[in-house]
Structure 1
Amino acid sequence: MQTRVMTAHIPLDLAAKVDAAASRIDRSRGWVVKQALVAWVDQEDERHRMTLEALADVDAGRIISDEAMETWADSLSSDTPLPRPTA
């Protein structure tokens, strides 16, 4: 696998936490940073996918009105909550 060096300026307190985590799990600082970056990129990819999916639902008219959502949310604290609204 080819690699590339990337540089970033991070706050000293965060750098200290990375160093402490690396020491605690007996890994290098680079390994910890790589794991964190992989997790963040995966999370952002999933967030992007979900946003595109939601926008497609809106474009297709699969939406729930604010009123229906508020009525449902208000019912959750009652003795007889309503079923979750559907599009």
Structure 2
Amino acid sequence: MVTSTKVVTAHIPLDLADKVEAAALRLDRSRGWIMKQALAAWVDQDEARHRMTLEALDDVDSGRVIDQQAIRAWADSLTADAPLPPPTK
């Protein structure tokens, strides 16, 4: 199976380029492979962040929220000998 590709260029700071080069040497991979892995990981993370944001907005729109005061009380109790259980709706 042949995958179509596209060349994408970017100007990056020299210190970052040096780190990419060092990683490529350490892993015995090409700089292109390192950049492809890094970009794929970033895109995956960005897509997950976007999906979670949409899910959170849906929760708010549906009223599935926990009162801020309950969250604050729980968080403040975490350093106590007997912390409160996590708040639920």
| Shorter-chain TM band | over 0.9
Among candidates 25, 28, 42, match of residue 30 of structure 2: 28
RMSD in angstroms over aligned alpha carbons?
A: 0.6
Distance in 2 separating the partners of 1:76 and 1:24: 42
Letter in 2 for 1:31: W
Distance in 2 separating the partners of 1:43 and 1:22: 22
Q: 1:31-86: CA deviations, max 9, x gaps?
A: 00000000000001111111000000000001111110111111111111111001
Who is 2:71 aligned against? Answer: 69
Letter in 2 for 1:69: I
Among candidates 7, 10, 15, match of residue 8 of structure 1: 10
Q: Using the aligned pairs only, state the percent identity.
A: 68
Who is 1:37 aligned against? Answer: 39
User: TM-score, normalised on structure 2?
Assistant: 0.95
Distance in 1 separating the partners of 2:14 and 2:54: 36
Gaps of 5+ in 1: none
Who is 1:48 aligned against? Answer: 50
Equivalent pairs, count: 87
Among candidates 81, 85, 88, match of residue 86 of structure 1: 88
Distance in 1 separating the partners of 2:26 and 2:75: 44
Letter in 2 for 1:76: L
Runs ≥4 residues deviating over 4 A: none
